[in-house]
Structure 1
Amino acid sequence: MKKNITYLKDCYGCGVCVKACPTKIISLKETSDGFYAPIILEQDKCIDCGLCLRICAFNHDSVAQDSTSTDSYAAWSNNPIVREHCSSGGIGFEIGRWAIDNGYKAVGVRYNPLKNRAEHYIASTVEDFMPSVGSKYIPSYTAEAFDEINLKEKYLVTGTPCQIDSFRRLIRQHKKEDNFILLDFFCHGVPSLLLWDKYTSELKEKIGNISYASWRNKSTGWHDSWAINADSTENKGTPGWKVFYDLTTNEKRHAYHSRMSEGDLFYSFFFGHYCLNMCCHKSCKYKLESSAADIRIGDLWGNKYKNNEAGVSVVLAFTPRGKQVLSDLQNLCTLVSEPLEVSTEGQMKHCAPMPAIRDKVIGQLRSQKSLKEIKSGLIFRYNLRFLPGRIINKIKRTL
């Protein structure tokens, strides 16, 4: 067998191998389970260089860099509008704005309503960077944006830890690390696109064709910010519509609003780990401060900031380059030095646990059953098995 990614199974789907392949025979496709994976359609054109395997984070047991010194901060934007409308403290947006102002292009993630997917793209101006604001809780399609990157130019590249690990290996292979700032985040895992497709299909029946979607909203506070906001071209005006401020357009707009705290079905599946990528359960090596990035960001959950509803970011800087960027942000952001145990409190320390019904849930996501039917049937019966133990544990905690 030739030395290429053909034999890999349940990989991260980061798509960096598409960029790395010198013969351009690798494509990124959606699998039947709803995840991105590389495929090679023309094996006879493979030159057996092995480059795709050398840069593949999934193909290595260790992370691409070992940080010997980590700077740890609580952080937030000094601009109250930015802080209000970003997922946590707005530090990701401020890093992107700083990078663009200093001659970098910014590679972020936006939602494409025409293709109903999250996708990486390249922004050259702060205005172009606006659609990347906020978290996207679905897999991102990277192949096109990564392929457009000119390794001789300067870029800030944002992605999941596994995407960034592979990208670090790519630029190291080409000796171009000095041209890049790499930014990742604390990742919970990525759910099957089958979940998002079914969720939006059902949402379209309520509001019409979706023209906008976001996954976080702090209108009821940062600690209750898991909400789907969706706008449509038809604007049917069904119950659940709210007015909110859109940072990407600097205008107020109407959107359908559904919160996790009120039973939103997308988040029920996502946080229940019912349909995450298999590698999120078995092969994630990027928890806490394990990262190939220059900087890692996320929400600073935990006791110290539990009463702060404006949003607080955790920021970890692993490299001299990352630490210099944060130093240059002093006028844009507030950075409070915190011990690592404070900044990472509340973050996942291990791979996501895999429910025994994970494969059955994905199978039913392919069926005609609604999300409500899947949850009230298969998932309800599964959780019912553990109810007595949960009641006993709750009584013990109370006592």
Structure 2
Amino acid sequence: MKLAVMTWYHYRNYGTALQAAAMQAVLRDMGHDPQLIQYRPCGYFRTLPDYSIPEFRRRIHNKLTRTSEPELRRFKSELRDRAFDAFLEKNIKFTEPCRTLSDLELLNDKFDVFISGSDQVWSPLAYDPHYYLNFVRDNAKKIAYASSMGAKEIRDRYIKADISRLLDGFGALSAREDSGAKLISELTGRQVKVVADPTLLLDAARWEEICCIGKDRTERYLLVYMLGSSDEHWAAIEKTASDMGLALRIIPVFEQDTKRSGCVTEPVGPEEFVKLFRNAEYVCTDSFHGMAFSLIFHRNFTAFARFGKNDPKSQNSRVEHLLGLTGMSDRLFSGSNAVEIAETTADFEYADTALSPLRVTSLEYLRYSLSHVNLQEKRVANIKARSSLCCGCGACAAVCPTSAIKMEMSGNGFLTAKLDGKMCVECSKCTKVCPFGTEAMNRAAKDAQMYSFKNPDSNVLLNSTSGGAAYSIARLLIRRGYKIAGCMFNAEKQRAEHILISDESELYKIQGSKYIQSDFSDVIKKLCAEDKGTALAVFGTPCQIASARRALQGWDNVLFIDLVCHGVPSYHLYEKYGDFIHRTSGVDNKRMQMVFRYKPKSWRDIYLYASDGERSYCCSKKDDPFFRMFEVGNCYMESCYECRWRSDSEADIRLGDYWGPRFEEDKTGVSMMVCFTENGRRAAMDAAFAGGTIAENQPIEDYLKYQQSNNIPKPVFYDTLMLELKSKDKKLESFVDRYTVPLENRSLSSSEYLKYVFKMVTYKEPNNDT
């Protein structure tokens, strides 16, 4: 079978790399074709501060006892990194890179079974739902092998609820430690098998074969591999080495380790790591895998607990489980027993006897789980089966021959495609135009050419978001006979929508930013109905442009221009914002004209402005509740957290504000034009020339550094926030602080701090059951 394994591999961590290699070796030995999913998370969960009384006490204690000691810097070495890369390339077969949920979902067509684990991929302190295989369509094809929680409890209630839901769908569940199995069982109500870490499934001889280890040891040394930095632990290590008459050989973890006598100066990759354990006389370590390899090679060792007993981030459970299982608990340093441990020979015969049946049952679990997967999955050819993401572009509805797809406002306040399965004939036309359900056709920004642009006309600048590049390009193209698709704000509907124009006098309608989702469905239908010889220019967000490119594939005279986009917030937020403006300034929110970037006040210091023709509202972004919610990014459309076009694009040109220090003195706006194709570059240059100005070549690093190039994770409290926004009873200002100002970032006096904490402690969230 073709197997896809989801685990950590990219950290320069020895245990992580070695368990990944071991897993592939075991699966290959079983006759399967395993590949490791090449996924690198951009970041982990975002949650709200804990306002419970115990957590409040802990924060106060930390504030009172905080020291000014600098944080330890991790040891970095280019040669060490190369050694890691060489080991992974030699021992692991990878999939193509998967950057987002869309890429992961496409793996359903390529693999028979998906395995999550090993390592701490399920740690609640590094929560990422993709490691729970949330992209696999068929739950029966999801197997967990030795997935570790690394903790005895899940403190965050949002993460706990998410994990419980995700685990419930697995066809087979196992954990690496007793504590993890117990926790998973409590969450799911299912029995959970405890299995061995993949590194323990291979014996010493197999590891010697993988790492090309010779049989001879040329020196006697005490090997040290410490992930913690306790002075007490290091004192015990040095005393142990001195008493045993052994030289220290230290695998550096922190920069300060390189200054210790005995630090290994040669680059240590995973292969060298195993060799050092194989040839050591004695080992001192606080690492799970350090202890595992000590057991594999029968090396006497002292184990150290890296975390304090009451540390909420403690990962000691995995160490405690391994030591208890193998009868090695007495080798755990307790503050005064270093000499006793060093003078005692470990009972490796007992350890092997304990590990042997665990290896057997672990391999049996794996074989049984794989053999009981039903491979006869019915492939359904429509957008809902192909992708769980939707950006509301409407391309699927535009090409559906039976009108089985309608665009509707979802419960969370986003325009979304809704499929009527009874009307669907599974022609797959919708899947071919979906920007999330097809292979990406991206061009990388790092390979693009970039220019700065500023329209010399002050009126154009006043009504444009930045330097007027979009207006200038659109005007040039209209004069050349193009039809332009662009976004306008419809004050009657209080919605943003795309329109098709062909007259220069209408360009003002599509000027300026709209920080809400635009209805693209009508215009894409009109574009598809145009004659293929029509010259078109399409302006939109990156996902809208990606869908338009697919819908208009094969058309010759189309220019695609996307805009730097952070995400689109829920319309429920905009509706509450309209209510806020009405209550605080008297503006009629049913007919107000909204200006999301009010240039008469400033370009760099963003202001929002609304007017109904009689009254007006104007507020800076730092005080405006809508912009605060928009900027923190907690209520975007779900697809925005899995955007495929942050640093790449399917457009000819990407436009945005030229942020960064290069134009920090400019007060009226400068555009950034990133040209991905020669057609795009020519259009940009021609627009500048026609406007009597110059597009100046700039380093692409300005884009990569000052624009958002990575996705932010969806917050774990997302569903709760959506309920707040949808609630008819809650005013925007009543909860905006809760979701936009992390407690630790507030600069308040003691009395203000206490008032704020009291407000948060007594705050009542909406009932998730309603």
For normalisation by structure 1, the TM-score amounts to: 0.84
1:374 aligns with 2:374: no
Over 3 Å counting, the alpha-carbon distance change for 1:341 and 1:65 in structure 2 is closer
What residue identity is the alignment partner of 2:638? M
Q: State the distance in 1 between where 2:538 and 2:502 align.
A: 12
Q: Equivalent of 1:28, from 392, 400, 407?
A: 407
Q: How does 1:307-346 map to 2 (within 5 A)?
A: 307-329=665-687, 330-332=689-691, 333-346=693-706
Q: State the distance in 2 between where 1:267 and 1:211 align.
A: 17
SS of the aligned residue for 1:365 comes to: helix
What residue identity is the alignment partner of 1:49? C
Q: State the distance in 2 between where 1:49 and 1:197 align.
A: 38
Q: Which runs of 5+ in 2 are unaligned?
A: 1-378, 748-770
1:12 aligns with 2:391: yes
Q: State the distance in 2 between where 1:54 and 1:143 align.
A: 16
The equivalent of 1:142 in structure 2 is 520
What residue identity is the alignment partner of 1:322? G
What residue identity is the alignment partner of 2:438? H
Query: Residue by residue, what CA displacement relative to the aligned partner does 1:149-207 show, whole Å, maximum 9, x if unpaired?
Result: 215222111111011111111211xx11x121100011111111110111112323421
Q: State the distance in 2 between where 1:349 and 1:216 align.
A: 22
Is the Cα contact below 8 Å between 2:446 and 2:704 reproduced in 1? Answer: no
1:38 aligns with 2:417: yes
Shift of 1:66: 6.4
Q: Which runs of 5+ in 1 are unaligned?
A: 242-255, 389-399
* Percent of aligned positions that are identical: 29
Shift of 1:26: 1.6
Over 3 Å counting, the alpha-carbon distance change for 1:126 and 1:344 in structure 2 is farther
The equivalent of 1:108 in structure 2 is 486
SS of the aligned residue for 2:481 comes to: coil
SS of the aligned residue for 1:121 comes to: strand
Q: State the distance in 2 between where 1:276 and 1:328 align.
A: 36
1:123 aligns with 2:483: no
Query: Residue by residue, what CA displacement relative to the aligned partner does 1:24-64 show, whole Å, maximum 9, x if unpaired?
Result: 332111110111211123x3332322111111111135235
Q: State the distance in 1 between where 2:650 and 2:460 align.
A: 27
Q: How does 1:199-278 map to 2 (within 5 A)?
A: 199-205=577-583, 206-208=586-588, 209-225=590-606, 227-232=607-612, 235=614, 237=615, 241=616, 256-261=617-622, 263-278=623-638
Is the Cα contact below 8 Å between 2:396 and 2:430 reproduced in 1? Answer: yes
Is the Cα contact below 8 Å between 1:183 and 1:296 reproduced in 2? Answer: yes
The equivalent of 1:251 in structure 2 is none
Shift of 1:306: 1.4
Is the Cα contact below 8 Å between 2:561 and 2:652 reproduced in 1? Answer: yes
Over 3 Å counting, the alpha-carbon distance change for 1:385 and 1:66 in structure 2 is closer
Shift of 1:99: 1.1
1:286 aligns with 2:635: no
The equivalent of 2:99 in structure 1 is none
What residue identity is the alignment partner of 1:109? C
Q: Equivalent of 2:742, from 363, 383, 386?
A: 383
Shift of 1:15: 1.4
Is the Cα contact below 8 Å between 1:78 and 1:334 reproduced in 2? Answer: no
The equivalent of 2:451 in structure 1 is 73
Query: Residue by residue, what CA displacement relative to the aligned partner does 1:322-379 show, whole Å, maximum 9, x if unpaired?
Result: 1221221223143110010024432012102433333222110111211100124x33
CA RMSD after TM alignment? 2.1
What residue identity is the alignment partner of 1:220? K
Shift of 1:272: 1.2
For normalisation by structure 2, the TM-score amounts to: 0.45
Is the Cα contact below 8 Å between 1:97 and 1:126 reproduced in 2? Answer: yes
Q: State the distance in 2 between where 1:64 and 1:166 align.
A: 12
1:197 aligns with 2:555: no
Structure with more of its chain in strand, by fraction: 1
Larger radius of gyration: 2
Structure with more of its chain in helix, by fraction: 2
1:365 aligns with 2:725: yes
Over 3 Å counting, the alpha-carbon distance change for 1:65 and 1:272 in structure 2 is closer
Over 3 Å counting, the alpha-carbon distance change for 1:68 and 1:379 in structure 2 is closer
The equivalent of 1:350 in structure 2 is 710
What residue identity is the alignment partner of 2:602? G
Is the Cα contact below 8 Å between 2:485 and 2:499 reproduced in 1? Answer: yes
Moved more, 355-364 or 263-272: 355-364
Query: Residue by residue, what CA displacement relative to the aligned partner does 1:68-106 show, whole Å, maximum 9, x if unpaired?
Result: 952210111121221232110000111111111110011
Shift of 1:133: 0.3
Moved more, 30-39 or 347-356: 347-356
SS of the aligned residue for 1:57 comes to: coil
The equivalent of 1:133 in structure 2 is 511
What residue identity is the alignment partner of 1:345? K
Q: State the distance in 1 between where 2:698 and 2:535 align.
A: 30
The equivalent of 2:52 in structure 1 is none
